[in-house]
A = this chain, B = another copy of it.
Amino acid sequence: MARVEGASVERGVNVPQSYRLVRRDARAERTVVRLRSGATFGGDEIAICAGPCGVESSQQLEEAARAVAAAGANVLRGGAYKPRTSPYSFQGLGEEGLKMLRHAGDRYGLGVVTEVMDPRDVERVVQYADMLQIGTRSMQNFPLLREAGATRTPVLLKRGFSATVQEWLLAAEYVLLGGNENVVLCERGVRSFDVVTRNMLDLAVVPLLEEMTHLPVIVDPSHALGIARLVPPIAAASIVAGAHGLIIEVHPDPANALSDGAQSLDFAQFEELMLRLAPLAALAGRRLPRRAVNDDGAAASRGYVASEPGENGSSDGAVRSSNKGVRLA
């Protein structure tokens, strides 16, 4: 009986030595993660990652990339390797999808973030992507974390379905321990007893993690909620709570998406959301990506991408000087 009574469990992280690299006071400054494309997470600029759940076709992706860039996003999201609960669901286009992402990202001046599930795919994915997404099902896939830690490509580490904050930070510790300090945490909702939304967004972790770690934190309202109409208000709330960025599903035709259509914004909804976010970012002492606020009032990327469709031009060559990056164009 004494053992039952005397036992205690950790609230927050009470074994500091177990996460010596990610803890807030392990560094003098907060970490700013910078993609090859120039997008940053953790600084004054809020990162806006947007795009379809899955890469379905070149046309779908190009349309989405153009639209989200025009609205002011600076990172393109899209799944080429899709973790699916059922083996009979659409599993993604694989390397073809990666190529499409790279092409669309270059064409519209967007960084590219995409999920990797298999440690054997990391080497291939970093050739195309600017940021490796480690999904909720993989948060404690330790071989994958180690493989990502061996690269220098930024990592977007989503919280596990029912991961405690401590477990999440220790997963990040695996990546940092491998030498890769470019980790961004992403709250995407956790399992709850109520099925009225797809998951339950735990927004309080945003200010909590601000104290506990020097790593940036972003929010994925799309997967958290599963209902497109709820995404804009919660995206706005996330910025106010201190999130360093958002990752949002946007699809040219949500009703016919191969996955996650119910939670995807269409282009008009996304553009409206961006307009809503701008003054909130300003109140928080931050700003949306620069492309969103050019002089003529139009979305900046229209001017940013000088090249015509079909030309494959990319203006971010200088940024792409990373030893990991390859030019596809």
Contact across chains for A193 and B192 when beta carbons are under 8 A apart: yes
Interface membership of A86, Cβ < 8 A: yes
Minimum CB–CB distance from A168 to chain B (whole Å) comes to 10
Chain B residues with Cβ below 8 Å from A128 are none
Interface membership of A323, Cβ < 8 A: no
Chain B residues with Cβ below 8 Å from A192 are 190, 192-193, 200, 202
- Mask, A175-203, CB within 8 Å of B = 1, is 00100000000000011111111001111
Number of identical monomers bound together in the oligomeric complex: 4
> Which one, A30-38, A106-114, A222-230, A314-322, is touching chain B?
A222-230
Minimum CB–CB distance from A115 to chain B (whole Å) comes to 11
Chain B residues with Cβ below 8 Å from A94 are none
Using a CB-CB cutoff of 8 Å, which residues 261-281 of chain A contact chain B? 262, 279-280
- Mask, A125-143, CB within 8 Å of B = 1, is 0000000000001101111
Q: Which residue of B lies closest to A207 (CB)?
A: B233
Contact across chains for B4 and A13 when beta carbons are under 8 A apart: yes
Interface of A (DSSP majority class): helix
Contact across chains for B204 and A197 when beta carbons are under 8 A apart: yes
Measured in the bound complex, the distance between the Cα atoms of B141 and A4 in whole Å is 27
The number of chain A residues touching the other chain, given as a range, is: 35 or more
Contact across chains for B195 and A195 when beta carbons are under 8 A apart: yes
Interface membership of A59, Cβ < 8 A: no
Choose one: B141, B224, B283; the contact of A137 (CB below 8 Å).
B141
With A201-B204, A203-B203, A240-B240 as known contacts, state yes or no: A193 contacts B7, CB within 8 Å: no
Interface membership of A212, Cβ < 8 A: yes
Contact across chains for B12 and A5 when beta carbons are under 8 A apart: yes
Minimum CB–CB distance from A119 to chain B (whole Å) comes to 6
Chain B residues with Cβ below 8 Å from A118 are 119, 143
Tell which of A13, A205, A237 has the most Cβ of chain B within 10 Å.
Answer: A237
Measured in the bound complex, the distance between the Cα atoms of B8 and A159 in whole Å is 22
Contact across chains for A141 and B117 when beta carbons are under 8 A apart: yes
* Interface pairs (7), CB distance under 8 Å: A4-B12, A18-B86, A85-B167, A138-B141, A141-B141, A207-B233, A234-B241
